[in-house]
Every structure is written in structure tokens, then in C-alpha cells.
Amino acid sequence: MTKTTRSAAPWVRKSAGSLLAAALFLLSPPAVAEVPVAKSLDLAGYTVAFLADPALPFTQSLVVLKDQEEVYEGPFVAPLSALAAEPGSRNAAFSLPPGTDVTGDGTPDLALTGFTGGAHCCFSLQVLSLGTEVRLLADIAGEDSPPLLKQITEGRAYEIELADWTFAYWHAPFVEAPAPRVILRWEESRYVPALDLMRAPPLSENELERLTEEIAADMAETGKPVPALWRALLERIYSGNSDQALTLLQQAWPEDLPGREIFWLRFGAQLGLSPYYPSLARLNGWPAF
């Protein structure tokens, strides 16, 4: 692990609260401190440095310099091993090869996947533009799975595919939690849900009947709602087929099992907690609130 020499004052001002900042705070402004650098690279006229706390096996911050002057600093947490992984590979910090034009505007970007090291949380995706100035274009929270950059449509731009974990631990262990797919597209100055890419054809009558029968059998056996039920409901809703979701609920729920209306209300309340709920409402033609 190499070290870089930097002035204390900007680091204290921008990173108060970190262990490194606490140490540098004890120094007078003209003093110079050595900050551990886990990895650095030269890219698009900038030097990108990943800083790490020597006591922890994780990066703590990302710094970008131009002509030895700091032009950007922000938090970035990922295992040190992720910095050495092949860009785009599983568990890699570099989501794409550094310098890839992510948004399709002709400007080199830096796409990074962060991971805080929990059992299955938390993942994030940061996209920095390295044009005439350094800008953080996006900081996407993936929660329990990493957001992925994919070229789903033709062209240079990459879409973001991620899972919505709103229903994690909802009446079931995490391993059974449904996590419907969301697709984001870069539009003008931000990533927004790409509803046309999320929309999918409805299930055929045979497919819907087979799925309904499977869920009905599981519920008849257990005597209660099963995760397969709300997984199927979410898959229909997140593909723009909420009418089939309601049909599935009505037909799969055993006649002798009470509580269907209460379940539907609680399911709707939980769905309303999703950060993508307004987009889901547009996707399914629901009234706006």
C-alpha cells in the first residue's frame, strides 16, 4: 500500500468524522500528512486515488486530482480485493473498464460498485463523469444486490438493472424474499425508470392458470399466504400487468381461507414503500396520488 501526501485542511473539511480526518484534525493547516492509498490510476487527465484505513480491509474514500490539486472527494466503500478484480467481473469495484462512456455523451466515466461487507448488504453503484470537470452523476443504492450496467438497447449508453428489495423480510426469511427487476435509463441529467423496458407481455391463459394452481396448492397445504404468491403478484405489477395480479390473487386464494382483503391491503401498503412506486403507478395506469 503506497501513500500520498496531501494538505490537511481540505481533507478535514470534506471528511470530518472518518478516522483519517480525526487524525488530521490534530494538525495545523500548514501541516502535511500521509494518507494511505490502496490504488491509484491515471485516467482522462486525472489521477484517481482510492484511500483506505490501514486498520480495515476496505477502501474508505475516493479522491480525484488534476495537476496535483484535489477536484473531487467522496466516500467509497469496497473490499480492497475488489480493486484488483477484473473490471466487470463478479465482486469487482470497477463495474466497467475505467473510462467507459456510460451515459453515451462522449465523455469518459468511472463506474464503481461499492459493498459495505455485510451478510448480503449493502451494494451501491456510483457513476462519475471525467469531463472538463468531475461530477458525480449517480449514486444508486442496490441494497441487497449490486446494480448492474447493461447495454439493453442499441447505442453507447448503458442502462442500470437492479432489484427492488422493498419486500425483503416481509413475512418470510430473506432467502424467500422476492426482488422484482427495475431498469433505469439516463435521461438528461439523471437516471429514471425505463418503463418501456420494464413492460412485458401478459402471461398466456395457460401460463396464468398453471401458476395459479401451483400457488393455490401451496396455500392449501400451509393454510396461509406463501412467498410464491406475492412474488408472482410483484412480477405481474413490475411488468405492467397488474390486472393479472388481481386475477391471480382472486383465483389462487383458497375459498375457505379468510383474510384475502386484509392481505391485499397490507401488500399494497408495503408496495407503497418502494422508491419506485410512482413509476409503477404510471406503468400500470393507476391513479396518481
pTM: 0.85
List, run by run, the mean pLDDT of 10-residue segments along the chain (289 residues).
39 36 38 71 96 89 96 96 94 96 96 92 96 96 96 92 98 96 95 97 97 97 97 98 97 96 97 97 88
Q: Using DSSP bridges, classify how beta strands 134-143 and 123-130 pair: parallel, antiparallel or unpaired.
A: antiparallel
- In terms of phi and psi (left: phi > 0; alpha: psi -120 to 50; beta: otherwise), the region of 157 is beta
Q: Which of 137, 38, 47, 152 is nearest to 98 (CA)?
A: 47
User: Which set of grid coordinates corresponds to residue 218?
Assistant: 401451496
pLDDT at 59: 93
Q: Name residue 136's beta-bridge partners.
A: 128
Give pLDDT, residue 287.
Answer: 86
What pLDDT, on a 0 to 100 scale, did the predictor assign at position 35? Answer: 64
Give the list of residues 6+ apart from residue 31 with CB closer than 8 angstroms, or none. 8
For 14, counting Cβ atoms within 10 Å of its Cβ (0-12 exposed, 13-18 middle, 19+ buried), the class is: middle
- Cell 474508505 appears where? 60
Residue 289 is predicted with a pLDDT of: 58
92, three cell numbers: 469487482
Interhelix angle for 205-222 vs 242-252, to 10°?
A: 40
The residue among 133, 188, 182 whose CA lies nearest residue 159 is 182
- CA–CA dist 129, 61 (Å, integer): 17
Backbone angles phi, psi at 78, to 5 degrees: -165, 150
What values do phi and psi take at 38, rounded to 5? -80, -35
The per-residue pLDDT for 148 is 97
Nearest-angstrom CA–CA distance, 53 and 61: 9
| Whether the Cβ atoms of residue 64 and residue 48 lie closer than 8 Å to each other | yes
